[in-house]
Amino acid sequence: MYEENQLNFEQIQLLDEQGHMKSKSTISDDTLLEMYRWMLKARLIDEKLLRLQRQGRIGTYAPFSGQEAAQIGSALALEKHDWICPSYRDLAACMVHGMPFEQVMQYVKGHLHGGKTPDGINIIPIQIIIAAQTLHAVGIAFASKLKKEQSVSVSYFGDGATSEGDFHEALNFASVYQLPVVFFCQNNKYAISVPLKQQMASRTIAQKAIAYGMKGVQVDGNDVIGVYEVMKEAVDRARSGQGPTLIEADTYRLGPHTTSDDPNKYRPKEEELEWIRQKDPILRLRKLLEGKALWTWGNEEKLINDFQLELDNQIQEIEQHDPPKIEESFHYVYSKMNPQLVEQQKMIKSLQQEKAGDLHG
């Protein structure tokens, strides 16, 4: 007889909330420091971009504070030639994989060049449509397999994406063809305002992998060491031809879904405080580093002050650039403009000339 939710996935955790290692890891002290610097810088960037949006200097923004360990731990496990297929909340992973901050600023400012990844960086344009990037990752992985390349593709998405048809189609196709792809779900407990318990009845997201014949893993998404080790194993499996993996990183977004959202309307304050005070991924790793005498408050203060100054200088320089012209947008639809786009571009130019004439008339 079927027993409801009989599937039980044990969550992997290597670094506990007090900053103590529960089991050994092969990660070097230098890598631990790199992880921490990235996590702290990512938090500073996220807080800066949130303030810029409130000041009207960038458009709608999706904060990622609280999810730094999930994104940075996973991205550091990749090789440069691997591919990232991100959602709108995965800027930290993108920057670890090579996306320069200038590109991030162009994106959040709505610049025409904001969606164009610089050459040599394997990141596809940020996806707004929920779960669509899972299919893109599968397509890239299929191409990699057909061309006998060694690259692995990773799709980043949230718990809400698991309710979309694209998610299920992607997992099914990837498993049937044993493609070199990793599905990385950041379960931050809410799909905008919808809590996880209203999103699905299964006990975990990781167990959904069983139905598609692939490996599923649940990891403490605020444990950067655990995330790195789980991701490294999944990437190695994919690269060696052993097929895809679904990873559920159990985490929490500390801020709103986007800057147009008010989480106070649907999230208990006590819940937020628990994740901020007890489960913050940055605080957890800092405790480990301090215990190993690898980090001090002096190191912290210097990094924060130096990086804030660097950010301010970069933002000031970027904001001095002239915004793109409307007629330039037609060059970013297809690789070559078709007759319809040429006609529309001429129409826009004509309207602009008429408007300019009216202003000076």
Give the residue among 148, 150, 98, 139 at the shortest CA–CA distance from 119.
98
CA–CA distance, 220 with 2 (Å, rounded to integer): 28
Reading the block at residue 14, the tokens are 């290597």
Of 89, 257, 267, 286, the catalytic one is 257
One-letter amino acid at 279 equals K
Of 81, 266, 321, 332, the catalytic one is 266
CA–CA distance, 213 with 230 (Å, rounded to integer): 18
One-letter amino acid at 41 equals K
Catalytic residue check, 266? yes
Whether 35 contacts 228, CB under 8 Å: yes
CA–CA distance, 246 with 179 (Å, rounded to integer): 12
Catalytic residue check, 253? yes
Residue where the block lists tokens 């130019």: 349
Catalytic residue check, 113? no
One-letter amino acid at 237 equals R
CA–CA distance, 180 with 178 (Å, rounded to integer): 7
Task: Determine the distance from the C-alpha atom of residue 360 to the mean position of all C-alpha atoms in its chain, rounded to a whole number.
Answer: 47
DSSP strands (E only) in the chain: 83-85, 153-158, 181-187, 190-191, 194-195, 215-220, 245-250
Of 253, 267, 284, 286, the catalytic one is 253
Whether 69 contacts 44, CB under 8 Å: no
Residues 6+ apart with CB under 8 A from 107: 114, 115, 126
Catalytic residues: 253, 257, 266
